[in-house]
Amino acid sequence: MKPFTALLGAAAGTHAADQMALATLPLTATLVLGAGPDLLGLLVAAQSASWLLVSLPAGAWIDRMPRRRMLILALALGLTASIVAVAAAATGTVFLLGLAAIAGASGTVVYVLTSVSLLPSLVAADDLPRSNARLELARAVVSLAAPFVAGLLAQHLSPTWGYALAALGACLALACVLALPKGTAPATGTERPSLAGAIRLGTSFVVRNDLLRGISLCAIFWNFAFFALLAIWAPLALGPLGLDPAQMGLAQSTYGAGLILGALLAPVMARRLPPLVTLIFGPAVSIVAALLFLAAPSGHGLALAAAGYFLVGFGPMLWLICQTTVRQLVTPSPLMGRVNATVQTAIYGVRPLGALAGGLVAAHAGLHAALLLIAVSFALSTLVIVLSPLARLRAMPAPVQNPARA
């Protein structure tokens, strides 16, 4: 099996396991353990908090250990989490289910950061856009299918069957990772800094690099806006838009369609357009989406909301693939894990703030004001790109001559 094919198979299995666990958690907690909204909120928060808490130390370890070994450890953690979740459901232990949620999400964090850091050593620099697009396409497809499959299993068998499928996905991913070539850890010099020192080096590199700083700030503003939108979507859809729950879900599902189309078109755009076009278009099209949401209460609510969700999936997916390639090209291999972890932490750190801000503004100033906040934040994410060197990037940067190892 070719190394990239193995990594692609591992990505499909890992994201299938992660998305099945994500969709199965609330079903298991509610239908099997009888959890109420307050307890369910704590479980979901524990699952999502792993991205914020684990990323930075994981990035430092990725730069110290063989990356193939880190992938194996990540998948073993995910597989163990699925088994523990089934045991939690069988024994009625909510605490154990929460522990499984944290462990499974932590495994996904380590896997994602490691695979992004490993990819430049498996494919040529010119093939990075296409390879990143294929990895993101695998994630988008399973993200779209997992909630539907988890719902069917819960209705006809048991919610815990979702964890069985998650375990199967982790096993398939593990088999693919074992087919990757063995290698040594990236060189970090004769003296290793402390864990905190290593994290500081990665963060400092992001702050000092104009391209990485622009990418990070754009991602922060965009994710703030998107999670503010998610926080107000239900009251907006069921209130001013007059949608029923089925229509609400239908409109939101177009987000997944946008992700898939973006991943399919990204390699074509990378070949035919300079990176600056994609880097500006991705966040800019989200402004159009915000305007569609603002106009939706005036009429044609379902169509306008569906178009808005499609755009915030399509454009940002193109941007994500393009900026991931830029990150991989400008980052030295020994810093790759920490740089990716720094960007990831900034993104996940701002997400709860965006959700909180959206909910508070909607509660005290109304849904229209919250939509204006979202539009402004999307505009700021675009402005960051326009004012940064990313807007002058007519070709991909030359790759840093610093070979990565598996």
Structurally, the chain folds into a number of domains equal to: 2
Predicted confidence (pLDDT) at residue 228 exceeds the cutoff of 50: yes
Confidence (pLDDT) at 403: 46
**Least reliable range by pLDDT among 23-37, 145-159, 352-366, 377-391:** 23-37
**Cβ(318)–Cβ(281) under 8 Å?**
yes
Whether 19 and 53 map to the same domain: the answer is yes
Domain termination site, one of 151, 184, 217 = 184
Confidence (pLDDT) at 374: 93
Summarize pLDDT for 243-301 with one digit per residue, the tens: 887 787 788 778 888 999 999 999 999 889 999 999 999 999 999 999 999 999 888 88
Specify the 3-state DSSP secondary structure of 187: coil
The answer to whether residue 399 is domain-embedded is: no
**CA quadruple 348, 17, 84, 179: dihedral sign:** negative
The answer to whether residue 406 is domain-embedded is: no
What domain range is 248 assigned to? 200-392
The answer to whether residue 401 is domain-embedded is: no
Whether 136 and 206 map to the same domain: the answer is no
Whether 205 and 320 map to the same domain: the answer is yes
Higher local confidence (pLDDT), 404 or 312: 312
Whether 143 and 9 map to the same domain: the answer is yes
The answer to whether residue 403 is domain-embedded is: no
Exposed, middle or buried: residue 258 (CB in 10 Å: 0-12, 13-18, 19+)? buried
Predicted confidence (pLDDT) at residue 73 exceeds the cutoff of 50: yes
Average pLDDT over residues 20-43: 72
| Nearest in space to 372 (alpha carbons), one of 291, 300, 312, 285 | 291
Whether 230 and 277 map to the same domain: the answer is yes
Whether 208 and 142 map to the same domain: the answer is no
Whether 354 and 378 map to the same domain: the answer is yes
**Cβ(404)–Cβ(186) under 8 Å?**
yes
What is the domain-level CATH number for residue 218? 1.20.1250.20
CA angle 284, 287, 291 (to 5 degrees): 155
Whether 54 and 104 map to the same domain: the answer is yes
Average pLDDT over residues 162-184: 85
Q: With pLDDT > 70 as the criterion, what percentage of the chain qualifies?
A: 93
Average pLDDT over residues 7-31: 83
Confidence (pLDDT) at 35: 66
Considering all CA atoms of the chain, what is the largest pairwise distance in Å, rounded to the nearest integer? 65
The answer to whether residue 300 is domain-embedded is: yes
Query: Which pair of structure tokens corresponds to residue 12?
Result: 């499909």
Higher local confidence (pLDDT), 292 or 334: 292
**Cβ(13)–Cβ(70) under 8 Å?**
no
Amino acid identity at 179:
A
Confidence bin at 406 (pLDDT 50/70/90): very low
Summarize pLDDT for 111-167 with one digit per residue, the tens: 989 998 888 888 888 888 899 899 888 888 887 777 777 778 877 878 788 888 888
The answer to whether residue 400 is domain-embedded is: no
The answer to whether residue 190 is domain-embedded is: no
Confidence (pLDDT) at 261: 93
Exposed, middle or buried: residue 342 (CB in 10 Å: 0-12, 13-18, 19+)? buried
| Nearest in space to 378 (alpha carbons), one of 255, 310, 290 | 290
Whether 160 and 205 map to the same domain: the answer is no
CA–CA dist 368, 290 (Å, integer): 11
Q: Provide the residue count of the chain.
A: 406
CA–CA dist 338, 320 (Å, integer): 18
Average pLDDT over residues 173-184: 83
Whether 180 and 205 map to the same domain: the answer is no
CA–CA dist 206, 287 (Å, integer): 26
Domain termination site, one of 157, 184, 211 = 184
Q: How far is CA 131 from CA 76, 98, 122, 222, in A?
A: 25, 34, 10, 24
Predicted confidence (pLDDT) at residue 71 exceeds the cutoff of 60: yes
Domain termination site, one of 184, 219, 247 = 184
Exposed, middle or buried: residue 36 (CB in 10 Å: 0-12, 13-18, 19+)? exposed
CA–CA dist 40, 186 (Å, integer): 41
Confidence (pLDDT) at 287: 96
Confidence bin at 36 (pLDDT 50/70/90): low
Predicted confidence (pLDDT) at residue 404 exceeds the cutoff of 50: no
CA quadruple 74, 77, 79, 84: dihedral, nearest 10: -160
CA–CA dist 126, 315 (Å, integer): 22
The answer to whether residue 217 is domain-embedded is: yes
Summarize pLDDT for 287-310 with one digit per residue, the tens: 999 999 999 988 888 899 999 999
Summarize pLDDT for 195-209 with one digit per residue, the tens: 788 888 889 999 999
Specify the 3-state DSSP secondary structure of 364: helix
